[in-house]
Structure 1
Amino acid sequence: MTYDLLIVGAGPAGLSAAIRFKQLANDASKELSVCVLEKGAQVGAHILSGAVIDPKALDELIPEWHQLGAPLTTEVKQEHFYWLTAENKYKFPMRFLPPLMLNDGNYIGSLGELCQWLAIQAESLGVEIYPGFSAVDVIFTETGALKGVVTGDLGLDATGAQKAEFSPGIEIHASYTFFAEGTRGSLTKKAEDHFQLRGPDNFQKYGIGLKEIWEVSPDKHQLGLVEHSVGWPLTNNTGGGSFLYHYGKNLVSIGFIVHLDYQNPYLSPFEEFQRFKKHPQVRSVLEGGRRISYGARAISEGGIQSLPELVFAGGVLIGCSAGMVNVPRIKGSHNAMKSGMLAAEAAFEAMESGRANDRLDGYMAKLQSSWVWKDLYRVRNAKPWISRLGTFVGGFFSVAELWLTSIGLNLPWTIKHKQPDHLCTKLTTESEPIYYEKPDNKLSFDRLSSIALSNIAHEHNQPCHLKLKNEQVPIQYNLKYFGAPEQLYCPAGVYEVISIPEGSKLQINAQNCIHCKTCDIKDPRQNINWVPPEGGSGPIYSQM
């Protein structure tokens, strides 16, 4: 199959690119085709975000979004920021926070539901969207340019043999291919390797975000309230924080973020999240409520100094495939959407001028002159300060620097990240064990009962999508030196060390995977490679 534009991923970046491209084509009465591939069973199935959404890009893309019924109806009315200790909270005066960290004019909602709405707008313009199709490989021309992608085979058993319902994957070619896979995309990694898009010093940095949706008692619900916190239960040298957003009908979005450059191999982001919910500040909101959704997702946190080259022959990286999250704001969807729009404009202009298949260098020029670049550039040192100096001192320097940039000062320094996240983990012999309480099944829960709320749909008899480069590393290296940290950093119980007659073995419960990709990031030897499973597999998130 051949298209003018192929987009891998129906998230905010990919859908915005598709909409903008078709807007331009339709306005010019041009018959240009757009295909969007989505590995989830439906659009929005794999989308997870806080989400307090800055509507800036949406205002530009679809100015009449209010009238068209976009699912953003809860405007932020009040917000608080806390430093937590084990028993207390200390409110930080909002007037002391830099203006860019405030949420005036933003909306609380579900990014997954917004993507479903964007998909409807895209299809009304003539965009073809195919959910349930994983793009598993890339195709290159004879000159080495990107030609397109290959979708995954359907109907293979665990050994790779064809079942009765087998259907082979297909090649999809395009003049331009946009990778909008989100954080740590499998095809993005291949493009980075093939085109050498990353140098040794601009590696990406990550966090893991865990999130639940609760339905709380009406008397505890404060529509439009946004709360953030740092501190307990994390130590000062472990970056991260929390959010509670009140929206909809008695709904609270509660989440916890842990930066994946944490050092202690005994730390479990999932268990830290469970501890957090027992804090008096949080308990008072959740008690008597009902948990209705759970999920987790890796977050690109490196900022502008971690961006790879975004343009290569035949395609570009947009959104979180590139890494456009503004860490201090805990926001990236507005930047993702705008990056997709700019890439679409560059592609349309190239096709109009007869330069189809050329490098889209116009995309980079547009991006660097846009508010996205300004948004990322002024916060570039926030994450490095915290990583180097800890949450308390590093946070102080970050806030001070953000105040200086907010008044128009152009600071001449850019702090580099020290090392990739997988190299930050210390040996167990250098670390203090962490002991976590058993779940009470009221506020805290285990992994298996949690992932049941993620509506996971994996065909058990299909090839494992979590590939070990070396079968011996998990036991001979990870277990020996780090205590098998994959059992702890995975938020879904995918990995467990079991006893066998020969000793120990790492068992991979791939059917539990919620596609957060933390294992692909944090494994000490980079021995785990996440690839898309059969199309349509994975979580089907609700209201996330």
Structure 2
Amino acid sequence: MAEAIERESMEYDVVIVGGGPAGLSAAIRLKQLDPDLSVVLLEKGSEVGAHILSGAVLDPSGLDALIPDWKERGAPITVPVRHDNFLILGEAGSLRIPNWPMPPFMHNHGNYIVSMGNVCRWMAEQAEALGVEVFPGMACSALVYGPGGEVKGVVAGEMGLNADGTPGPQYEPGMELLGKYVLLGEGVRGSLSKEVIAKYDLSAGKEPQKFGIGIKEIWEIDPDKHREGTVTHTMGWPLGNAAGGGSFIYHLENNQVYVGFVVHLNYKNPYLFPYMEFQRFKHHPMVADLLKGGKRVAYGSRAITEGGWQSLPKLVAPGVALLGCSAGMVNVPRIKGNHNAMLSGKTAAEAAHAAIKAGRQGDELTGYETDVRSGPIAKDLKPVRNMKPLWSKLGLAAALPLGGFDMWTNALTGLSLFGTLKHGKTDAASTGKAKDFKPIDYPRPDGVLSFDRLTNVAFSFTNHEESQPAHLKLKDPSIPIAVNLPEYAEPAQRYCPAGVYEVIGEGAEARFQINFQNCVHCKTCDIKDPSQNINWTTPQGGDGPNYPNM
């Protein structure tokens, strides 16, 4: 069908996919360097910020480099971190770990508690004021390749397909947006970025990318319990040794707190239920007391890239570059990546500008690759590169002292006694067989502190046009029931934070159901499915969650 579709095209100097911190930084920097460059930014959410979900404690170094006068320009970055707590939880109590043994870069003073969705909305205003064409509601469903195999553009805005993939009565074929260079800032496990990495073998010689799932709620709490500027991170209960991960509680303004939970996706037990681990966490006495009398006002979930330095793929291919979390630039122990996303967008823009000025197009932006491998992003990621593999292989109790020692030696000498540790298996391959584990009995949500998934999904304000094709594609429709159910107890029923996947019936009557309308675009299914049978593709533009101030 694709060959028969005729599309109009528009040409730009640079086409940017994704209205997150990386893509917006690239757009802003390009126009700062040359106001005459034609730059278009395409965002699949209904508005810029609609699909942005992050903790977030922001290290402002990326924004300082891009827009030094962001305070004077009214950026929504107004809550400095005042108190920084790190706790190890037991089921009924907690132990505070003092901050002084940690390297200075682990401290949060000088950082800000923010809504990255609102920061991106503000950045979009800055971009538009400079002349960037920003188009929300424009999902990019395919790449356009040139005669030499280079990426030369994207297909954006295709809408109105029937459930079987054929054009419906309101079908719009979309347009080809063509550029001298295409910058992909789609975030974690972006569908176009995934295609580029595979097509050009950009991960050759690198460690497998690693991921976590982050689940977050916004609560309005009793003003007497609110402590604006307080940051708390926890590890330990309820996960224990079952999985890596932990929680965050950030007190922002207006008596609101961000309450979130991260589970590393290399967990073995297929019965583990990340969403229910989060709901159980909120019943810890410390958390329950904080939330008592409050109300949850928003919910969402997103995968997180956690592989770090050794998993960073090659960042460029002919005509295209990967920005931010499309490549994986999160500093795991710092729990921060937005500053690196901004820096990557900035330096990619500088490389693209230099290439266009020199009369080039459609080649590799090697200057961008060089800067990331040797500049501020490298200085942020390399010293912490061993924390994640230490945690995965040795567990939390051993990883804390060994990882802390390794970060100190890196900070002081630039060297590590461990060298660069490997991650080993992918997160999908880490999933164990159901026969080797016991099901986990999770407490029933009480509707006050804890909630069932479908109730919470309503607080993500997710919407999908139901007549379109399901954007969650099974490579082999038989695998969920024939393989994943007997071998792994079909973990898609549990790792999805939105209740998208269900096994209906038993025995010979069992069938696999995909409720794609619930999807919050976290991409966990694309990552964790043990058979790697689920391919997340973009639905039509404007669909998905509509996060207010995540």
Identify the TM-score tier after normalising by the shorter chain: over 0.9
How far did residue 499 of structure 1 move? 1.8
Q: Which residue of 1 aligns with 2:460?
A: 454
Q: In the TM superposition, what are the counterparts of 1:433-448 in structure 2 within 5 Å?
A: 433-448=439-454
Matched, 1:373 2:378: yes
Contact kept, 8 Å, 1:325 with 1:332, in 2: the verdict is yes
How far did residue 64 of structure 1 move? 1.0
How far did residue 150 of structure 1 move? 1.0
Which one of 11, 16, 19 corresponds to residue 20 of structure 2? 11
Aligned length: 540
SS in 2 for 1:79: strand
SS in 2 for 1:41: coil
Contact kept, 8 Å, 1:211 with 1:254, in 2: the verdict is yes
The two structures have a TM-score, normalised by structure 1, of: 0.98
CA deviation string 1:241-283 (max 9, x = no partner)? 1000001110100100000000110001000000000001111
Matched, 1:2 2:5: no
The whole-number CA distance in structure 2 between the counterparts of 1:307 and 1:193 is: 14
Larger displacement relative to structure 2 (51-60 or 494-503): 494-503
Q: In the TM superposition, what are the counterparts of 1:139-538 in structure 2 within 5 Å?
A: 139-199=144-204, 201-411=206-416, 413-499=419-505, 502-538=508-544
Matched, 1:85 2:129: no
SS in 2 for 1:378: helix
The whole-number CA distance in structure 1 between the counterparts of 2:512 and 2:236 is: 34
How far did residue 432 of structure 1 move? 2.2
Q: Which residue of 2 aligns with 1:24?
A: 33
CA deviation string 1:319-355 (max 9, x = no partner)? 0001000000000000000000000001111111222
Contact kept, 8 Å, 1:237 with 1:387, in 2: the verdict is no
How far did residue 502 of structure 1 move? 4.7
Larger displacement relative to structure 2 (52-61 or 396-405): 396-405
The whole-number CA distance in structure 1 between the counterparts of 2:157 and 2:123 is: 25
The code of the aligned residue for 1:22 comes to K
SS in 2 for 1:81: strand
Runs of at least 5 residues in structure 2 that lack an aligned partner in the other structure: 1-9
The whole-number CA distance in structure 2 between the counterparts of 1:373 and 1:515 is: 29
The whole-number CA distance in structure 2 between the counterparts of 1:153 and 1:228 is: 42
Q: Which residue of 2 aligns with 1:67?
A: 72
Aligned CA-pair RMSD: 1.2
The whole-number CA distance in structure 2 between the counterparts of 1:172 and 1:352 is: 21
The whole-number CA distance in structure 1 between the counterparts of 2:506 and 2:249 is: 44
CA deviation string 1:276-295 (max 9, x = no partner)? 00001111110100100100
SS in 2 for 1:227: strand
The code of the aligned residue for 1:535 comes to G
Matched, 1:49 2:54: yes
The code of the aligned residue for 1:367 comes to V
The code of the aligned residue for 2:17 comes to V
How far did residue 368 of structure 1 move? 2.3
Contact kept, 8 Å, 1:274 with 1:444, in 2: the verdict is yes
Runs of at least 5 residues in structure 1 that lack an aligned partner in the other structure: none
Contact kept, 8 Å, 2:156 with 2:174, in 1: the verdict is yes
The whole-number CA distance in structure 2 between the counterparts of 1:324 and 1:200 is: 18
The whole-number CA distance in structure 2 between the counterparts of 1:224 and 1:440 is: 29
Q: Which residue of 1 aligns with 2:43?
A: 38
How far did residue 195 of structure 1 move? 1.0
Contact kept, 8 Å, 1:134 with 1:151, in 2: the verdict is yes
Contact kept, 8 Å, 1:237 with 1:391, in 2: the verdict is no
Larger displacement relative to structure 2 (245-254 or 358-367): 358-367
The two structures have a TM-score, normalised by structure 2, of: 0.97
SS in 2 for 1:392: helix
Identity over aligned pairs, percent: 52
SS in 1 for 2:303: strand
The code of the aligned residue for 1:424 comes to S
CA deviation string 1:361-402 (max 9, x = no partner)? 111122223111110111110100000101111222111111
The code of the aligned residue for 1:219 comes to D
The whole-number CA distance in structure 2 between the counterparts of 1:20 and 1:44 is: 19
SS in 1 for 2:100: helix
The whole-number CA distance in structure 2 between the counterparts of 1:178 and 1:376 is: 22
